[in-house]
Amino acid sequence: MEDRGGTILMKRYEVGRMLGQGNFAKVYHARNLKTGQSVAIKVLNKDMVMKFGMAEQIKREISVMRLVRHPNIVHLYEVMASKTKIYFVMEYVKGGELFDKVSLGRLKEDLARKYFQQLMDAIDLCHSRGVYHRDLKPENLLLDENGNLKVTDFGLSALTESRKSDGLLHTTCGTPAYVAPEVIRKKGYDGAKADIWSCGVILYVLLAGYLPFRDKNLIEMYRKIAKADFKCPQWFPVDAKRLLYRILDPNPITRVTIPRIMESRWFQKGYEHNALSHLPPLSPRWGGDDCSSDVEAAFAFTYSSSSSFSYSGEDDEEVVVPMKLYRFNAFDIIALSSGFDLSGLFEKDNSQKQHAMFITRMPPAVIASKLEEIGQMDNSFKVMRNNGVVRLEKRNTKGTSQLSIDTEIFQVTDSFHVVEINKVLGDSLEYTTFLEHHLKPFLDEIVLAWQGCHNHQ
């Protein structure tokens, strides 16, 4: 145990090498000291999570992973907390990403079908529990040692109760090449139908070895997605083509449902429905289906004996491991391409819209914090946050709004975000002056590229 040089966490896990890291978390390989089982432990800094308003997202991720226990979904075994850290103890899947397999070329039809069948089983379970993944792509599909698929990364997922009064979801998120047309339109979307579209793109990639919607210009790619402008290679089986055209239907109302997908001739070939497909939530030790108290306990600073979380009364030191560099992929390059302005993609008349956009590597929390600094520097501006939108509002001497600007952050990939800036209220000249002479110079250090701004090279 000790001779392996691992760090012991809460007297229960021996923590080893880092497997990866994101903006707010690091993931380590670990071993259960009692059973010897390998696990993956996701470590989050509690102060950072609270400071940057990520608590609700983390709570939702815990709740979601408890709800979706399935053989083809990465299991969440338990959540532990210390004064400074939150730990997700998860199933360790050592076969790597499906993306790595596909990057070598197209798969044989039977293997592609097997992965798609397992994906459908998993997503069907999610939807039956009111969970929508919203970021399905080969990078978020892992393979275990037996070659079985495991869905992971529910960080962008939504629950049924996230829907607004119109019964739709409205947060724009996901990865460009896999996102459904209705998500791009920003008019609201059905989470289940959006997930089905993403699954269709994945199926195409498995059979073809490349994406159905491709263009060096992101705007052109979105135009193709909006019209479902794609062609199936000649080697695609006829039944697979028929199924793909039903899944990649740009109209979510007529898009095929999962039950209909499962009834299709191509899908049914060799299909073995997993008897464990609809297991109850994660474990009796969680104390039933109501996990609200357990989720809240992860963010508490005092131990509760009724909580299902393990808690350490002392600050545990973070494991120090050499940093793993982010792996640059084709979608990052697409995101950096010219013509990134999405205006006019779906709206015929965009002449009255006054907005700008920029792309950045910074995480949403850093972007929002930077915007809030403007209010600290200029007392005439009031800064407010609401549902992912940061509003800058300048008031006159009478206390009424003189200039109001909304900034909204959208995820493109794990390490790239687009920030859209819109004038909500106020004089156009004042808005343009503020944008060009104050906002742009102030944000310059975090911006990779601007679009939609005057006098921009």
**What is residue 343's predicted lDDT score, i.e. its pLDDT?**
39
Lowest mean pLDDT among 129-133, 256-260, 440-444: 440-444
**What is residue 62's predicted lDDT score, i.e. its pLDDT?**
87
Residue 171 confidence (pLDDT) above 90: no
Residue 290 confidence (pLDDT) above 90: no
Average pLDDT over residues 257-265: 97
**What is residue 263's predicted lDDT score, i.e. its pLDDT?**
96
Work out the widest C-alpha separation in the chain, in whole angstroms: 73
Same fold yes or no, 2-92 and 98-268? no
> What is the number of residues in the chain?
457
**What is residue 448's predicted lDDT score, i.e. its pLDDT?**
82
Dihedrals φ, ψ of 136, to 5°? Answer: -80, 130
- What is the average pLDDT value for the chain, to the nearest integer? 78
Residue 51 confidence (pLDDT) above 80: no
Residue 248 confidence (pLDDT) above 60: yes
**What is residue 349's predicted lDDT score, i.e. its pLDDT?**
42
**What is residue 339's predicted lDDT score, i.e. its pLDDT?**
40
Full-model pTM:
0.66
Give me the residue spans of the domains in the chain.
Answer: 2-92, 98-268, 332-451
> 3-state class of 325 per DSSP?
coil
Most confident listed range (157-171, 230-244, 362-376, 431-445): 230-244
Out of 121, 124, 135, 294, the active site residue is 135
User: Partners of 89 in the beta sheet?
Assistant: 41, 78
| pLDDT, tens digit (0-9, with 9 covering 90-100), for 1-45 | 333 446 899 889 999 998 877 667 889 999 999 999 999 999 998
Q: What's domain 2-92's architecture?
A: 2-Layer Sandwich (3.30)
Q: Does the domain formed by 98-268 have CATH 1.10.510.10?
A: yes
DSSP letter, residue 327:
-
Bridge-based pairing state of the strands 310-311 and 141-143: unpaired
Structure tokens belonging to residue 254 = 């007529």
| pLDDT, tens digit (0-9, with 9 covering 90-100), for 190-226 | 999 999 999 999 999 999 999 999 887 888 889 999 9
Q: Is 137 annotated as a binding residue?
A: no
Most confident listed range (97-101, 380-384, 391-395): 97-101
Residue 286 confidence (pLDDT) above 60: no
- Has 121 been annotated as catalytic? no
Question: What is d(CA 382, CA 30) in angstroms, rounded to the nearest whole number?
Answer: 46
Lowest mean pLDDT among 6-10, 182-186, 217-221, 450-454: 450-454
Question: What is d(CA 210, CA 201) in angstroms, rounded to the nearest whole number?
Answer: 10
Q: Closest Cα partner for 274 from 86, 440, 103, 120?
A: 120
Question: What percent of the chain is modeled with pLDDT above 90?
Answer: 37
- Tokens 């997922």 sit on residue: 157
User: Partners of 356 in the beta sheet?
Assistant: 421
Most confident listed range (103-107, 114-118, 289-293, 357-361): 114-118
* Domain topology for 332-451: TATA-Binding Protein (3.30.310)
Residue 253 confidence (pLDDT) above 80: yes
Quote the distance between the C-alpha of residue 237 and its chain's center: 32
Residue 153 confidence (pLDDT) above 70: yes
